[in-house]
Homo-oligomer: A and B are copies of this chain.
Amino acid sequence: MLDTANANQTDIDALMLDIGRSARAAARPLAIAPTEQKNAALIAMADAILAGEEAILAANAIDVENGKASGLTGSFMDRLTLDSNRVAAIAKGIREVAELKDPVGEIMAAWERPNGLRIERVRTPLGVIGVIYESRPNVTADAGALCLKAGNAVILRGGSDSVHSSRAIHACLVKGLEKAGLPADAIQLVPVTDRAAVGAMLTGLEGTIDVIVPRGGKSLVARVQSEARVPVFAHLEGLCHIYVDASADLEMAKKIVVNSKMRRTGICGAAETLLVDSAAIGTHLMPILEALTEAGCEIRASATVLKVHPGFKPATEEDWRTEYLDAIIAVAIVDGVSGAIDHINRYSSNHTEAVLAEDPDVVERFFNEIDSAILLHNASTQFADGGEFGMGAEIGIATGKMHARGPVGVEQLTSFKYRVRGTGQVRP
């Protein structure tokens, strides 16, 4: 491993290029590896995680201590901290990936042409995936397992905050690969925490990286958008909205709003802005705000809300653009579903939005006229999750429109090719 204390840009570029080339070399056998071999590796990985719990928790304790010392916030610490249950959940997650259907080789469509040509569209791996993430150590395992199942090599670059945890988890993944006879280079963790390593990955490492998956906050996303020279699965923040129509069932609305905001505040599917129909000011607004307050949530209220119910902290323009990832919610009054659509199309990060309404016309307009990855009716925004969608573990929720959108699971980590079988056809 490189002595990171003395590493300069040239050293890091050379190191990263080496990583890229060995990932590309590993990708070829991986692409044609049988399902059984990939699953054997995954199960061995899960076993190694469970067997390595003590080492993983010890490594995590160092990250947690460093995180406290550097003043990380509550939701950041929530994402970072592991315990015995979370380690078991990581192993369980890997086992669940083993149980997923192997997407590689799946015939997505097949048809025959009048001239007798038989055409198949068949799933293939993408190749080499670069994952750049921040504090959550479980991403190391999730991303490694998912990429492997889809026949891809992966280069993982975790945040410096979780570096010890990620290294401990990565060691378990490599054990699994080796036990199944797959190349250890199929899942590589960048050994240095320098930002220069991220810059090198964003160049595509001389064509050795096929796609970058960034998982992180605004500054990472901005950097990726300005520097990336390879395709990116855009994962913007989750600035999720929940709209309460006057036709909404009040009891259901209270329950769903509180769950959307407060179940876990640190995940991207947590609601950040509550929009209430102006026709529901007298009926729904206050009971919902009271339920939120009771649950420990801070309210940041628009001028219209304050006119009716003074006393809340006022929201500024910045609040409509903020992913709090904390027990805070911005609240605005809108002019029915049209007003909700306008507000969301203006401020949303196109991740997830929910409409609470009994009027089907309201729901249809909300579903048709908002172009976010996930739209929910009468359900919590916290269902924005690949597992909850039945798609298995996910590498994140893509907010872009290209290739993958919404939960990025094993199927979304593939490409496809066409196989055409003829009997001597030439084109007239």
Which residues of A come within 8 Å of B, CB atoms? 31-32, 111, 113, 117, 119, 121, 124, 126-127, 210-211, 225-226, 229, 231-232, 249, 252, 255-256, 259-260, 263, 363, 367-369, 371-380, 382-383, 385, 388-390, 400-403, 405-406, 415-427
List 21 A–B pairs whose Cβ atoms lie within 8 Å, in order of A's numbering: A32-B369, A113-B390, A124-B371, A126-B402, A231-B231, A259-B427, A367-B419, A373-B417, A374-B420, A375-B420, A376-B421, A377-B419, A378-B423, A379-B420, A379-B421, A379-B426, A383-B427, A402-B402, A403-B403, A405-B415, A406-B418
Give Cα A385 to B119, complex, Å: 12
Question: Which residues on the B side are within 8 Å of A249 (C-beta)?
Answer: 424
Give Cα A324 to B15, complex, Å: 38
By the criterion CB–CB under 8 Å, are B390 and A422 in contact? no
By the criterion CB–CB under 8 Å, are A388 and B427 in contact? yes
Question: Which residues on the B side are within 8 Å of A225 (C-beta)?
Answer: 229
- The 8 Å CB contact of A401, one of B117, B127, B255, B376, is B127
By the criterion CB–CB under 8 Å, are A418 and B373 in contact? yes
By the criterion CB–CB under 8 Å, are B401 and A210 in contact? yes
By the criterion CB–CB under 8 Å, are B231 and A377 in contact? no
Give Cα A249 to B416, complex, Å: 29
Across the two chains, which residue of chain B brings its CB closest to A426? B259
By the criterion CB–CB under 8 Å, are A422 and B379 in contact? yes
Give Cα A184 to B369, complex, Å: 21
Give Cα A377 to B420, complex, Å: 6
Question: Which residues on the B side are within 8 Å of A32 (C-beta)?
Answer: 368-369
Give Cα A255 to B376, complex, Å: 56
By the criterion CB–CB under 8 Å, are A427 and B377 in contact? no
